[in-house]
Amino acid sequence: MKRPYRLAARLPLSPEAPFTPEVVKEMLATAMIGPKGRTAKHVVPSTDAVSFLTGTLNHRHAFFFASQVDRVRKERRDRAAKLIDELRQVMPEIVQDAEEQRAKIDDIFSQSHERAAKAVYGFVASDIVTTALPPVELPSNIFGWQWVAPSLHVDVAAMIGSNAAARFLVAAIPKLSGETPKLSAVQTWLKKQG
């Protein structure tokens, strides 16, 4: 089964939209400063372009936040299913021990222990337990920062240039998906795509 996510170390995301036009303008200005401290282009993106980019970034952040919540829910569900399976494996032994105990000491306590063990085993062995666990389907289209990088790079490159756009992505991705890729990884991945 293919995992829809690369579960690399991720910073936890907040449900609040992390981008404002002011934050985006500052990130764009910082991204335009090249590795040697020179400004790549003297460009002032329009207010409409910054507003559109801010909306796009916050919209993508919402997808990543929802998938973060879903991943946590799926991990809990998978853990519960695993524990139920372990309980199904061990309960027959517990029931057998209770039966042996009752056979040795036929008193009210050993009878109630045997009845309780059989009741628990009957419940755990039934399908009701696993069907009661809510299903969690993870969307297969949100892999990580690579999901948003091409379109965002195109949008930002039109404003500040290709190299500066890659630097912008490196600054934006931690707020978007919680991942922290290096500039070289982003640039290499973008080259492979285009």
pLDDT tens for residues 45-81?
889 999 999 999 999 999 889 888 888 888 888 898 8
- CB burial of residue 19 (10 Å; 0-12, 13-18, 19+): buried
CA 144 – CA 142 distance, rounded (Å):
6
Query: Looking at residue 6, what is its pLDDT?
Result: 47
What is the pLDDT confidence band of residue 42, given thresholds at 50, 70 and 90? low
Residue 154 is encoded by which pair of tokens?
């195109």
Collapsing DSSP to helix, strand or coil, 33 comes out as strand
The model scores a pTM over 0.75 = no
Determine the pLDDT at residue 21: 96
CA 178/CA 135 separation, integer angstroms: 25
State the DSSP code for 11: P
Task: Give 91-113 pLDDT, tens digit per residue.
Answer: 899 888 888 888 888 788 878 88
Task: Return d(Cα 148, Cα 153) in angstroms, integer.
Answer: 8
Q: Structural domain boundaries of the chain?
A: 21-31+45-193
Measured distance CA(70)–CA(142) in Å, rounded: 12
